[in-house]
Structure 1
């Protein structure tokens, strides 16, 4: 099948999927829509930023959940008034949204600028350090959180009914997916992929390698911050434990389950994770074989191991094989318009 035909088929499939998701509240139970699917969209949106950085920038980041958390904490501090913890600024919810996204974007730019001169395992470890530092900052500074976190957070009136939060997650997911895919054909996206493939050559051609990496990290941080706002509205609270090492690794696992080289895989991995987390304990005979909630991470580990053995490219790789052809990890020269950056 030619590239254009494959792209057309994919577009039709994705459009059909979006249509199903739009109609889902009238087809499924409220629990499935407001718990399973809303959580899937939130986690998928955050995991998509890991995939974006890895696929287009060659950077595997463990700091995306930190950006996710910063947005949630900043919104709670700005929007609450008279709460037990936090700054209690009492701002209008949409002003608090602007404040949260501004702080998150600035933090992403600063941290991205610092990490932009490292690559490979050093970049991975540095972003992990970011996550650890962020956890202790919010856990130890009681003025902005403290160990108990911030509770009683209300979503804006516009998103009052739970189904509206689901639609907000769906809208942001579609926009993020289209935006990330469109970015690869922009001048910035082409240069970023060139930096991914050969940073030395790109630097010799006059491109600012560190700046491109920092800007990509900033963009990913901004999108992760949007997911963080949805999460804090969905949960109604946020605490430092939600951005600790465990959840940080879970977000990476979600991206790996779906396929670290595929944007679609972010939401597919999130859906599988949420399904397993929600329904595994209700399966017949599960208690009889010793699978309890305390052993959930072991189950997830086994699932990840099985997927990696069957397909290093995750579930999307398995889907591609079933369709008769695996897609390359990175876009081919033809996909990039016949040019190389």
Structure 2
């Protein structure tokens, strides 16, 4: 199978999946669509920013949930009027959306400019510090949140019915996935991958390495902010605990489950996480072996451990290996049948040659 055929098959598979997701509200229950799948799309969007930075920029960031939360907090402060907490600016919901995205993008640019001069474990730890600082900022400054967070947040009228929020998440997921895949082929994307592989050489060639990292971090923060808006509309509230260390690590775990080197893995990992979180407690005999809701994180840890042992590339790595085996098996079957006919054909030619002589 050549590259064109492979890409065409992948494109058709993705198009088929999108079609199924578009039709899903008419095929599945409202709970599955509005809870499981909507949450999957939201978490998948946020996890995709981690995958994007790691895959194309070589940066493992733990600050993406902070960007996710900043957008939610800023929308709540701008949109609410007369609430118990927050600035209560009372703006139009779409004006609040613009304000939230603007603040989130600016925060991502500033934090990315600081972190862009570090690499490896230092970048990871610095972004973790960002998350810790963000948690205490929103927990301690009561004017913008306080420990109780902001409640009674309403989504815009355009997204009133829950199914519309699902479609909004699906549309954003498709756009972000296609956008990230397109960026890798642009001049910026190629330069970013060069910075990932050999920053010293790229700097010697005249590329501004910190600037490329900063812009990538800003783009990831922008996308995480979009996911944060969907989340706050879905939940109706946001509090500092939702951006603490625990949820931050869970978002990284989601990316690892799906595959940190594959964009598709972000949504696949989110789907597995939400599925386990939602339905694990309903499995028969689960309570008899000591698995309760309080031990959910232990179960997730065991799942991550099993996946990493079987495939360091996550679930997408397992899928790719299975596809590779099927392709090799399909390729060897025609070869074997053709190989069986070759001796007959060769013998016939020899016999004809002998007859002529």
Query: CA deviation digits over 1:272-293, x for unaligned, max 9?
Result: 0000000000000000000000
Q: Distance in 2 between matches of 1:127 and 1:284?
A: 41
Greater radius of gyration (CA): 2
Q: Distance in 2 between matches of 1:328 and 1:136?
A: 77
| 1:334 partnered with 2:350 | yes
Q: Distance in 1 between matches of 2:302 and 2:56?
A: 29
Displacement of 1:126 after TM fit? 0.2
Query: CA deviation digits over 1:250-298, x for unaligned, max 9?
Result: 0000000000000000000000000000000000000000000000000
Displacement of 1:4 after TM fit? 2.0
Displacement of 1:225 after TM fit? 0.2
TM-score by length of 2: 0.91
Kept in 2, the 8 Å contact 1:317–1:326? The answer is no
Displacement of 1:3 after TM fit? 2.1
Aligned residue number for residue 10 of structure 1: 10
Any gaps of 5 or more consecutive residues in structure 2? 325-339
Query: CA deviation digits over 1:178-225, x for unaligned, max 9?
Result: 000000011100100000000000000000000000000000000000
Kept in 2, the 8 Å contact 1:259–1:269? The answer is yes
Aligned residue number for residue 59 of structure 1: 59
Structure 1 residues 225 and 327, CA, compared in 2 at 3 Å: closer, same or farther? farther
Displacement of 1:339 after TM fit? 55
Q: Distance in 1 between matches of 2:8 and 2:220?
A: 27
Structure 1 residues 49 and 198, CA, compared in 2 at 3 Å: closer, same or farther? same
Displacement of 1:5 after TM fit? 1.7
Structure 1 residues 150 and 15, CA, compared in 2 at 3 Å: closer, same or farther? same
SS at match of 2:264: helix
Aligned residue number for residue 48 of structure 1: 48
Kept in 2, the 8 Å contact 1:101–1:225? The answer is yes
Aligned residues: 340
| 1:241 partnered with 2:257 | no
**More divergent stretch after superposition (2-11 vs 235-244):** 2-11
Any gaps of 5 or more consecutive residues in structure 1? none
Aligned residue number for residue 314 of structure 1: 314
Q: Distance in 2 between matches of 1:236 and 1:110?
A: 28
SS at match of 1:284: coil
Query: CA deviation digits over 1:33-90, x for unaligned, max 9?
Result: 0000000000000000000000000000000000000000000000000000000000
Kept in 2, the 8 Å contact 1:75–1:229? The answer is yes
Structure 1 residues 338 and 279, CA, compared in 2 at 3 Å: closer, same or farther? farther
Query: CA deviation digits over 1:88-129, x for unaligned, max 9?
Result: 000000000000000000000000000000000000000000
Q: Distance in 2 between matches of 1:63 and 1:329?
A: 66
Structure 1 residues 96 and 8, CA, compared in 2 at 3 Å: closer, same or farther? same
Q: Distance in 1 between matches of 2:356 and 2:255?
A: 27
Q: Distance in 1 between matches of 2:230 and 2:343?
A: 33
Q: Distance in 2 between matches of 1:207 and 1:339?
A: 71
